[in-house]
Amino acid sequence: MEISLIRHGRSLLSENDRITINDFRSWIEKYDSSGVNEEAAYPPETIKRAADAKVVITSDLKRSVESARLLNPEAKIISDPLFRETELPVCSTELFQLRLGPGIWAVILRLVWFSGYSRKCESLKEAKLRAEKAAKKLIDSSIEYGPIVLVGHGFMNILIAKELKKKGWKGRRKTASEHWGCTTYFFA
């Protein structure tokens, strides 16, 4: 059995102006509703795994679905919110009108999320439980369809990979986190 985890392509959203923490929520909504850039070329392993899959599973976010279609337009695509990226918490303060780039806000909020702060989003513990369910769904799909590809998101792919390894699946120690990166896990 074989399961490949691929991170979606780079977002079409190019807004990178400095914003307040409160403006970051709107930025996330734009990011989630944006598609992806079509590339001149994709990593060979990513193309191979996507081409070999009869079924490509995605989250229900546009960047995930569009990435799957770019990689394998012929595949049956199954979208499921179970595979969405882990959420970022909402900050309860204005932070003195501090303005930072969206990438910096994402790093800060991800760090506080890993530290246990999860206001208005799933906690790390809840995300790990969701990843366990997602791994089970991928395993079941692999049994039913053969080689499976998930075109998903950075942190959720990492959490799913940890669950696959716990269940005895073998693959690279570190899950690919770059856009279009692919990591394949095998179970004999």
Residue 99 lies in a domain: no
Q: Count of domains in the chain? A: 1
Tokens of 132: 């366990």
Residue 91 lies in a domain: no
pLDDT of residue 173: 86
Residue 110 lies in a domain: no
Write the CATH number for 8: 3.40.50.1240
Residue 111 lies in a domain: no
pLDDT of residue 118: 87
Edge to edge, what strands does the sheet with 170-171 contain? 76-79, 55-58, 148-152, 2-7, 182-186, 170-171
Neighbours of 86 (CB within 10 A): 23
pLDDT of residue 96: 65
> pTM value?
0.93
Residue 31 lies in a domain: no
pLDDT of residue 186: 96
Residue 99's alpha-carbon distances to 26, 30, 87, in angstroms, are: 14, 18, 21
Residue 136 lies in a domain: yes
- Give one word for 26, left, alpha or beta, with left for phi > 0 and alpha for psi -120 to 50: alpha
Residue 93 lies in a domain: no
Residues spanned by the domain of 9:
2-17+38-85+122-186
Consecutive 10-residue averages of pLDDT for the chain (188 residues): 97 92 90 92 95 94 96 94 93 77 94 90 96 98 96 97 97 92 94
Residue 147 lies in a domain: yes
pLDDT of residue 95: 65
